[in-house]
Structure 1
Amino acid sequence: MGKSKALHITRAASAALKPARVADAELDHLEHMIRSISRSADRKAFACLNRAYWKRRLAILGDESDLVSTQRARVLQLLELLAQDHAGAASKKVAA
């Protein structure tokens, strides 16, 4: 699992970032939504909030917050889940 550019920051930049404790609520919400979407049988219900939207939300969280290592790991896991979900959806389209 490689490092995400959105999650890599310098010490000087971290001074302007939101503290990690503030990011927990946002990360909990994103994790809940992304996992719900990946398990949902009704993909059309979430059509307006596509994979790019969720990736953008995760990138913003990484850019604006001074995430601790466990939070960064959660973000990377969610990005991986989105990638797997996208690959699975693409293979289903090809098979149809």
Structure 2
Amino acid sequence: MGKSKALQATRATQAALKPARVADAQLDHLERMIRSLALSGDAKAFSCLDRDYWKRRLAALGDESDLVSTQRARVLRLFELLARERAGAGSGKAAA
């Protein structure tokens, strides 16, 4: 019986999630914004925005949507980009 309740809860959770195709537009926007700010090389441009805001937006996207593996990978890369920017990796450009 415990299993069936857990399965019902999982199904209910999945039913409440937005489909992956709906998340694409939001993920595209977040990716454009975070990448353009992080890669601009202008520390002031990124500092005027709250990184925690972008992290919350990414987390909400993952929590509210039934993301496919490629979308999850994009979200993780954006979290990593925000972490690198916070650590100051964005201010010193590495040689290609």
TM-score (normalised: structure 1)? 0.75
Quick one: which amino acid aligns to residue 13 of structure 1? T
Counterpart in 2 of 1:84? 84
1:20 aligns to 2:9 (yes or no): no
RMSD across aligned positions (CA): 1.9
Kindly tell me: are residues 73 and 11 of structure 1, through their superposed partners in 2, closer, same or farther at Cα, counting changes over 3 Å? farther
Q: Distance in 2 between matches of 1:48 and 1:60?
A: 22
- How far is the alpha carbon of 1:63 from its aligned partner? 1.0
Q: Distance in 1 between matches of 2:17 and 2:49?
A: 26
Counterpart in 1 of 2:5? none
Counterpart in 2 of 1:65? 65
Counterpart in 2 of 1:56? 56
Q: Which runs of 5+ in 2 are unaligned?
A: 1-9
Q: Distance in 1 between matches of 2:47 and 2:82?
A: 14
Q: Distance in 2 between matches of 1:69 and 1:43?
A: 32
- How far is the alpha carbon of 1:48 from its aligned partner? 3.9
Q: Distance in 1 between matches of 2:38 and 2:14?
A: 32
Larger Rg: 2
Q: Which runs of 5+ in 1 are unaligned?
A: 1-9
- How far is the alpha carbon of 1:18 from its aligned partner? 0.7
- How far is the alpha carbon of 1:65 from its aligned partner? 0.6
Kindly tell me: are residues 11 and 81 of structure 1, through their superposed partners in 2, closer, same or farther at Cα, counting changes over 3 Å? farther
TM-score (normalised: structure 2)? 0.75
Aligned residues: 82
Quick one: which amino acid aligns to residue 50 of structure 1? D
- How far is the alpha carbon of 1:14 from its aligned partner? 1.2
Check whether the contact 2:51–2:82 (CA below 8 A) recurs between aligned residues.
yes
